Structure 1
Amino acid sequence: MTRTPRPSGVALTTDSALQDFISSLVGRADSHRFWMIFLDEFQRPMRDIMPVDGLPDRPEADDAERMVPMFCGCYDVLDAHAMVLVIERRGQRAVTDDDRLWARTLHAGAALAGVELRALLLAHSTGVRWLALDDYLL
């Protein structure tokens, strides 16, 4: 896990505030991974942020189930109240088929783990964009 300074008392209660925070934290993509960011009961980012490196281009069929212990373990140890997931990959802003597959897999893993998924975002080569349910749950 990576420890980052937490903005003192800054609650990320709006989508815009959350996206700005992710933009400052992750920035433009330089690798292929996903990030787990945990929020406390006041929607403030917790200090423990976990980048997960080495993502393949496409998820395997059982990846959602394999993520459950990791999601539950981090969530429980940190006593988090919500989680934000960020897919990081080089490339353009447009959502690709592989992005959709990863977003569905991460979404399903969070649901299976019973953790509250606050948001899914995509960090790409030129910035960060929000992934709405319509972008990946077709």
Structure 2
Amino acid sequence: MTRLDANDAKRLPLTTDRAVQRRVAELLQGAIRRQWWTLYLDEDDVQLPLIMPMAGYPDRPDEPCGDEGTAAQLLANRLADIVDEVGAAQLIFAWERPGDAESTPADREWARELSEACRAVGLAVRAQLIVHDHGVRWFAPDDYA
């Protein structure tokens, strides 16, 4: 498989759900461990040359995190800082975890809570996907509403 480089990514905006899923599948081909990835898009749906993994996040998004509220709120606040710094307009979350394609209660809880926390700080979440043992699955908003 040919890897997509940053210059090619700039010429291929992610204007459809299918394009988003293909891009995440190209970048993250399957699950290795429990971690969460963030991709950043500009106002024209072009992926910015930044992709961030985060391993070791809490088991529950409602875990207290000091003065910043919950774990999900803390992460949303940090993402808001990054979005401002890089000039992103939208975020894509890819939830990597070993297992099959079906979402788990924990997957749905994190997707819901982080989405709500992002909305509260004015961040637009373009998509959420699950990276599992056999590829990438679209995480429809109804899955975690």
Same fold, TM-score > 0.5, yes or no: yes
Letter in 1 for 2:93: L
Deviation, 1:31, is 0.9
Q: Distance in 2 between matches of 1:126 and 1:84?
A: 20
Give the 3-state SS of the residue equivalent to 1:119 in structure 2.
strand
Is the CA contact 2:61–2:114 (under 8 Å) kept in the aligned structure 1? no
| Structure 1 segments of 4+ aligned residues over 2 angstroms from their partners | 55-61
CA RMSD after TM alignment = 1.4
Deviation, 1:133, is 1.2
Q: Among all aligned residue pairs of Structure 1 and Structure 2, give the percentage whose two residues are the same amino acid.
A: 34
The count of residues paired between Structure 1 and Structure 2 equals: 134
Please list every run of 5 or more consecutive structure 2 residues that lacks an aligned counterpart in the other structure.
64-69
Give the 3-state SS of the residue equivalent to 1:8 in structure 2.
helix
Write the deviation string for residues 68-108 of structure 1: whole angstroms up to 9, x where unpaired: 32111110000001111111100011111111111112212
Write the deviation string for residues 48-82 of structure 1: whole angstroms up to 9, x where unpaired: 11111113443334112111321111100000011
Higher alpha-carbon deviation: 32-41 or 65-74: 65-74
1:29 aligns with 2:31: yes
Letter in 1 for 2:123: V
Give the 3-state SS of the residue equivalent to 1:85 in structure 2.
strand
Deviation, 1:44, is 0.9
Task: Show the counterpart of 1:106.
Answer: 114
Structure of higher CA gyration radius: 2
Please list every run of 5 or more consecutive structure 1 residues that lacks an aligned counterpart in the other structure.
none
Q: Distance in 2 between matches of 1:8 and 1:81?
A: 15
